[in-house]
Amino acid sequence: MKNNVKNIVILISGGGSNMATIVRTAQQERWEQGYGARVAAVISNKPDAAGLVFAREQGIAAEALDHKAFASREAFDTELAATIDRHQPALVVLAGFMRILTPGFVAHYAGRLINIHPSLLPAFTGLHTHQRAIDAGCKFAGVTVHQVTAELDVGPILDQAVVPVLPGDTAETLAARVLTQEHVIYPRAVRTLIQAL
């Protein structure tokens, strides 16, 4: 890698609050000086993703690759990988990237592709995790950072945080409580990984 810098590429689909938290943490903790790591690029599958604006304001390369412009999931993932690889990533971070990735894409980044999922995996893989936790009568919910494998939401767990499910919680109130912990553990997991690289 150029100058031995460990480039982090973050994929988003929307506002990118986890991406922004990782970027701010990297700046505050001086990851480039301390670990030789930096957020090199933010890429979204939605051209109007608000997170791209934040990334550009931070001087980070920000690109959109509209998945609707591609005939197949494989075609999109091939172009996405080519776009990511231009930044020579040491780590690819999914931060609210709302696409199911093809096995070929996942294999290409094996060991350096991570995701955050708003449940205590292995419970509640997939969507609507907060409502499903409430409906199941869970007393606790939470969030998991994990390595991405070809099977959805089952890769090795890197970090977790637990939050209580309170009486009267809705999916929205629980999601907000979980999000505060997402912003704690995702930068922490990324930092741990880049230190090990």
Catalytic-residue membership of 183: no
Instruction: Name the catalytic one among 87, 108, 117, 146.
Output: 117
> Looking at residue 156, what DSSP letter applies?
P
Q: Is the distance from CB of 84 to CB of 9 less than 8 angstroms?
A: yes
* C-alpha angle 131-133-136 in degrees, rounded to nearest 5: 105
Q: Is the distance from CB of 107 to CB of 121 less than 8 angstroms?
A: no
Q: Is the distance from CB of 168 to CB of 3 less than 8 angstroms?
A: no
Using alpha carbons, list the distances in angstroms from residue 173 to 79, 102, 108, 176: 37, 32, 37, 5
Q: Which residues are catalytic?
A: 117
